[in-house]
């Protein structure tokens, strides 16, 4: 049967709509199509943060209106103007700052402000549930419902920061963390015979061997996996009870998470003195969405090679490349500071602004370099948030997203001094220079 394909209004031929990269087949300027893709990724990322804020009762009509406008703009036949699509991406970045602020407020009002917390890796004796994704509301409900059942709840990947929130860490059966960034799921979930709950994006289609003990909630759906609407996790708990107990096997690594804005700002005067005395030479923000492709181990090497008089702020799952390293401290200031999930980029921005004020300089004049990994829709919108507030000289890696062509890269490098990661030794030399 003949099928109606997507129709391109520019060249009157069937086309892929956005994402066309073949100049001459679809007459639409590829850069415009790529900028539309960029905008779609940005609003997807923002929507995810907004979704989690709404779960906790926080909404904002200005953000809703922007999403509507931006999404409409990605029609194939409504905006052919590259310049205005770049402006819209910047607007998306600004609106994402508002969205991340809203989510940060929702998290803090609901669970308290995070506090530095040691998180054990490995397993405790007993039955268990692993929770992956970004949904704090889902893990909270699960913790409530598993209290007193003897089931241990483990975090995975972006759920690690849950351990820092007073309203979540009060549950003693929030046992620890298993695994690293999102893409180790297949190996990790096959290894531990426990129930699994996926709460947000970055869930992978499961292997047969653990499909029957995996559950999704919220926006996540996986083929053959039972979905839970709302927050009644009885089926997850019943499944966990039917599975064998795990043995106590304490991991060698203890992670630390939960550095909030207040914690860092309470140390601001001390940090200022250490900088003035030359004991802290430079700050790095290293993090973002980790990727299994490209040179992800660049970030491990990078952090290992940093001089001992430097401090690393981190967030999102990119930190699993190096958050098991013992970096020590500089007169009580930890050299590795985990600020939380990717949406906590807003905390990093607020800290950088506060430090800039303290030193009486602009953020770009601080001894601070941002080196971000990206892979995900959320990383795209966070990048535009940083560009929207005028941050320059960001290093990006491990690979460029597919929608960046030479023209877009030129805009990013000319206007924002974006650099691509290279060799960690050379990069560190250049950053410190």
Q: Which part of the chain contacts ligand SF3 (CB under 6 A), choosing from 28-36, 252-260, 372-380, 398-406?
A: 372-380
Nearer to ligand SF3, 20 or 202 (CB): 202
For the residues of 91-150, what is the DSSP string, one character each? HHHHHHHHHHHHHHHHHHHHH-----EEEEEEE-SB-EEEEESS-HHHHHHHHHHHTTTT
Nearer to ligand SF3, 330 or 338 (CB): 338
Of 49, 182, 189, 395, the one binding ligand SF3 by CB under 6 A: 182
DSSP code of residue 248: P
Nearer to ligand SF3, 184 or 427 (CB): 184
Nearer to ligand SF3, 30 or 284 (CB): 284
CB of 321 to ligand SF3, least distance (A): 11
CB of 200 to ligand SF3, least distance (A): 8
Residue 184 within binding range of ligand SF3, rule CB under 6 A: no
What is the rounded CA–CA span in Å between residue 153 and residue 142? Answer: 8
Do the beta carbons of residue 407 and residue 432 sit within 8 Å?
no
CB of 380 to ligand SF3, least distance (A): 10
Angle 224-226-232 from CA coordinates, rounded to 5°: 175
CB of 417 to ligand SF3, least distance (A): 24
x/- string (CB under 6 A) for ligand SF3, residues 130-149? Answer: ----x---------------
Of 338, 350, 376, 427, the one binding ligand SF3 by CB under 6 A: 376
**Helix, strand, coil tally for the chain in percent (to 5):** 45, 20, 35
Of 101, 158, 184, 338, the one binding ligand SF3 by CB under 6 A: 158
- Segment 185 to 214, residues that bind ligand SF3, using CB under 6 A: 201-202
CB of 38 to ligand SF3, least distance (A): 16
x/- string (CB under 6 A) for ligand SF3, residues 269-308? Answer: --------------------xx------------------
CB of 147 to ligand SF3, least distance (A): 27
Of 100, 136, 342, 383, the one binding ligand SF3 by CB under 6 A: 342
Of 127, 239, 378, 419, the one binding ligand SF3 by CB under 6 A: 378
Residue 341 within binding range of ligand SF3, rule CB under 6 A: yes
Nearer to ligand SF3, 15 or 379 (CB): 379
Q: Which part of the chain contacts ligand SF3 (CB under 6 A), choosing from 14-22, 91-99, 104-112, 370-378?
A: 370-378
Nearer to ligand SF3, 154 or 330 (CB): 154
Selection from 414, 385, 401 nearest residue 291 by Cα: 401
CB of 230 to ligand SF3, least distance (A): 23
Q: At 160, phi and psi to the nearest 5?
A: -50, -45
Pairing relationship of beta strands 128-132 and 152-156 according to DSSP bridges: parallel
> For residue 283, what are its two tokens?
């700050």
Size of the residue set binding ligand SF3 (CB under 6 A): 16
Residue 317 within binding range of ligand SF3, rule CB under 6 A: yes
Q: Which part of the chain contacts ligand SF3 (CB under 6 A), choosing from 224-232, 265-273, 371-379, 391-399?
A: 371-379
Q: Where along the sequence are the contacts to ligand SF3 (CB under 6 A)?
A: 134, 158, 181-182, 201-202, 289-290, 316-317, 341-342, 375-376, 378-379
């Amino acid at each position: 049967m003949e099928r109606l394909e997507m129709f391109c209004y520019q060249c009157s031929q069937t086309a892929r709509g956005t994402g066309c990269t073949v100049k001459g087949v679809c007459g639409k300027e590829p850069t415009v199509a790529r900028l539309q893709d960029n905008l779609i990724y940005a609003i997807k990322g923002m929507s995810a943060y907004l979704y989690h804020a709404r779960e906790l009762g926080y909404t904002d009509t200005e953000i809703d209106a922007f999403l509507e406008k931006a999404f409409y703009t990605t029609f194939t036949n409504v905006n052919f103007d590259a310049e205005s699509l770049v402006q819209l991406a910047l607007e998306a970045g600004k609106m994402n700052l508002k969205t991340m602020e809203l989510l940060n407020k929702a998290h803090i009002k609901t669970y308290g402000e995070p506090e530095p917390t040691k998180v054990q890796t490995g397993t405790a004796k007993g039955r268990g549930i692993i929770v992956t994704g970004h949904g704090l509301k889902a893990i909270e409900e699960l913790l409530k419902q598993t209290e007193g059942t003897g089931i241990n709840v483990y975090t995975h990947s972006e759920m690690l920061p849950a351990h820092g929130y007073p309203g979540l860490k009060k549950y003693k059966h929030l046992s620890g963390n298993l695994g690293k960034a999102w893409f180790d799921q297949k190996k990790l979930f096959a290894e531990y015979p426990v129930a699994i709950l996926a709460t947000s994006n970055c869930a992978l289609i499961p292997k047969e061997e653990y499909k029957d003990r995996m559950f999704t909630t919220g926006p996540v759906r996986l083929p053959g996996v039972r979905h839970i609407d709302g927050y009644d996790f009885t089926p997850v708990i019943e499944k966990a009870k039917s599975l064998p107990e795990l043995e106590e096997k304490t991991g060698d690594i203890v992670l630390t998470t939960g550095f909030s804005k207040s914690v860092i700002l309470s140390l601001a005067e001390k940090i200022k003195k250490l900088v003035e005395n030359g004991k802290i030479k430079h700050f790095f923000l290293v993090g973002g969405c980790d990727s299994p492709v490209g040179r992800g181990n660049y970030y491990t090497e990078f952090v290992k090679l940093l001089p001992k008089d430097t401090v690393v702020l981190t967030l999102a799952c990119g930190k699993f490349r190096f958050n098991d390293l013992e970096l020590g401290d500089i007169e009580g200031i930890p050299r590795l500071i985990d600020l939380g999930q990717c949406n906590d980029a807003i905390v990093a921005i607020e800290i950088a602004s506060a430090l800039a004020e303290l030193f009486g300089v602009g953020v770009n004049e601080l001894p601070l370099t941002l080196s971000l990994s990206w892979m995900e829709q959320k990383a795209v919108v966070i990048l535009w948030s940083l560009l929207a507030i005028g941050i320059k000289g960001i290093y990006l890696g491990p690979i460029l997203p597919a929608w960046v062509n030479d023209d877009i890269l030129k805009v990013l490098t000319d206007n924002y001094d974006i650099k691509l990661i290279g060799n960690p030794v050379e990069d560190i030399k250049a950053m410190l220079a």
